[in-house]
């Protein structure tokens, strides 16, 4: 892992920095590059705009590691309101949730209860996505996912290609017909758990992508979404799909709001399924710093905004 990436990932966990970051206008201006605003209405407007470009959307309310039972319940209630609002606005937009936001640190039972409230409300025609967090959470997250999937076939889980275990996790889920969003992984992981080099991570990503696409074709995978901005991987995946005779509408690429916008439009225009994850909310600090870690060149955005302030 690059030294800058390691420093940024450590900074993303730093409470002192988190409490101070939002006081600076140049930081808030930089955050605006990756989220349309802090309010749900800002996210909904962005989703409406994407819809006009034939781009699908997924909303996520920023927050993680909630340590208070009532706060976890409030997050769940907020998402219920989001589902209601999306219904009223007639948007096909889905939602994606971090289990630590619903109380996973308090107890898996509390978290599952909060999550079930959302599945009971969500339309079965839409996938309700569960994010994957740092590797220490994978076992608990998958255990909850399996229980939920047994009752709600529209449950989706994010899996991370940087973890050695992911291949086995995919295989263990196939008998349940999962929906899987494949990412590279955004956390700082030890070499005991995760591939370290981009070459290894990308190779594992592509190998997993091929088996997930095959699984979707044979029906053991209900839906697969490739959440990456990596142009080389996207090319490999789309070329593989074409060679296998898989239709473009069966190949879905998801990106983050504000990143690779031209590519999002190009994919949608070419008939591939193109989606964008839109984050909103005031708890943006750790999320934003992880975006900097993914591409340290984004630090120049911070510097430019600092100089122009």
Ligand X SMILES: Cc1cc2nc3c(=O)[nH]c(=O)nc-3n(C[C@H](O)[C@H](O)[C@H](O)COP(=O)(O)OP(=O)(O)OC[C@H]3O[C@@H](n4cnc5c(N)ncnc54)[C@H](O)[C@@H]3O)c2cc1C
φ, ψ dihedrals at 161, nearest 5°:
-70, -15
**Which residues 18-47 are close enough to bind ligand X by CB under 6 A?**
none
Q: Of 23-31, 85-93, 224-232, 241-249, which segment contacts ligand X by CB under 6 A?
A: 224-232
| C-alpha angle 285-205-253 in degrees, rounded to nearest 5 | 70
- Write the CA distances from 13 to 194, 286, 291, 305, integer angstroms: 19, 6, 13, 23
User: Closer to ligand X at the Cβ: 9 or 72?
Assistant: 9
CA distance 290 to 293: 5
Choosing from 105, 131, 169, 230, the catalytic residue is: 131
CA distance 33 to 13: 21
* 12 touching ligand X, by CB under 6 A: no
Among 295, 300, 303, 304, binds ligand X (CB under 6 A): 295
* 132 touching ligand X, by CB under 6 A: yes
User: Closer to ligand X at the Cβ: 114 or 298?
Assistant: 298
Q: Would residue 181 show up in a list of annotated catalytic residues for this protein?
A: yes
User: Closer to ligand X at the Cβ: 55 or 158?
Assistant: 158
* 135 touching ligand X, by CB under 6 A: no
Q: Would residue 196 show up in a list of annotated catalytic residues for this protein?
A: no
| Torsion (CA) 288, 229, 99, 249 in degrees, nearest 10 | 140
Structure tokens at 43: 């996210």
Binding mask 239-258 for ligand X (x = CB under 6 A): ---------------xxx--
Among 75, 115, 149, 183, binds ligand X (CB under 6 A): 183
Among 128, 142, 158, 224, binds ligand X (CB under 6 A): 158
Length of the chain: 309
User: Closer to ligand X at the Cβ: 72 or 276?
Assistant: 276
Can you list the alpha helix ranges (DSSP code H) found in the chain? 3-11, 15-21, 25-31, 40-52, 69-88, 108-121, 138-151, 166-173, 198-218, 231-243, 261-269, 285-294, 299-308
- If DSSP codes are grouped into helix, strand and coil, which group holds residue 12? coil
User: Closer to ligand X at the Cβ: 266 or 295?
Assistant: 295
CA distance 18 to 141: 26
Q: Of 71-79, 84-92, 183-191, 241-249, which segment contacts ligand X by CB under 6 A?
A: 183-191
Q: Of 2-10, 12-20, 40-48, 181-189, which segment contacts ligand X by CB under 6 A?
A: 181-189
* 186 touching ligand X, by CB under 6 A: yes
* 294 touching ligand X, by CB under 6 A: yes
| Torsion (CA) 162, 163, 165, 170 in degrees, nearest 10 | -50
User: Closer to ligand X at the Cβ: 31 or 44?
Assistant: 31
Binding residues (CB under 6 A) for ligand X: these are 131-132, 158, 160, 183-187, 198, 227-230, 254-256, 259, 277, 291, 294-295, 298
Q: What residues are labeled active site?
A: 131, 181
């Amino acid at each position: 892992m690059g030294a800058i990436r390691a420093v940024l990932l450590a900074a993303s966990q730093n409470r002192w920095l988190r409490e101070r970051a939002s006081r600076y206008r140049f930081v808030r201006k930089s955050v605006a590059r990756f989220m349309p605003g802090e309010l749900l209405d800002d996210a909904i407007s962005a989703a409406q705009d994407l819809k006009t470009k034939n781009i699908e959307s997924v909303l996520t309310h920023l927050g993680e590691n909630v340590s208070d039972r009532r706060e976890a319940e409030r997050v769940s209630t907020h998402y219920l309101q989001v589902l209601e609002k999306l219904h009223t606005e007639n948007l096909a937009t889905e939602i994606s949730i971090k289990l630590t936001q619903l109380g996973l640190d308090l107890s898996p039972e509390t978290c599952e209860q909060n999550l079930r409230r959302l599945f009971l409300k969500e339309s079965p025609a839409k996938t309700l996505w569960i994010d994957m967090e740092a590797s220490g959470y994978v076992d608990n997250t998958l255990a909850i996912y399996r229980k939920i999937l047994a009752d709600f076939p529209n449950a989706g889980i994010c899996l991370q290609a940087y973890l050695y275990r992911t291949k086995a996790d995919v295989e263990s889920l196939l008998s349940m017909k999962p929906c899987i969003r494949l990412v590279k992984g955004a956390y700082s992981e030890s070499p005991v758990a995760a591939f370290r080099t981009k070459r290894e991570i990308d190779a594992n990503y592509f190998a997993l992508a091929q088996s997930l696409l095959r699984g979707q074709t044979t029906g053991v995978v209900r839906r697969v979404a490739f959440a990456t901005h990596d142009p080389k991987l996207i090319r490999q995946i789309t070329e593989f799909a074409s060679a296998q005779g898989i239709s473009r509408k069966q190949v879905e690429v998801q990106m983050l709001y504000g990143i690779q916008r031209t590519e999002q439009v190009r994919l949608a225009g070419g008939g591939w399924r193109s989606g964008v994850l839109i984050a909103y909310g005031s708890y943006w600090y750790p999320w934003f710093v992880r975006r900097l870690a993914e591409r340290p060149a984004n630090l120049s955005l911070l510097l430019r905004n600092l100089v122009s302030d």
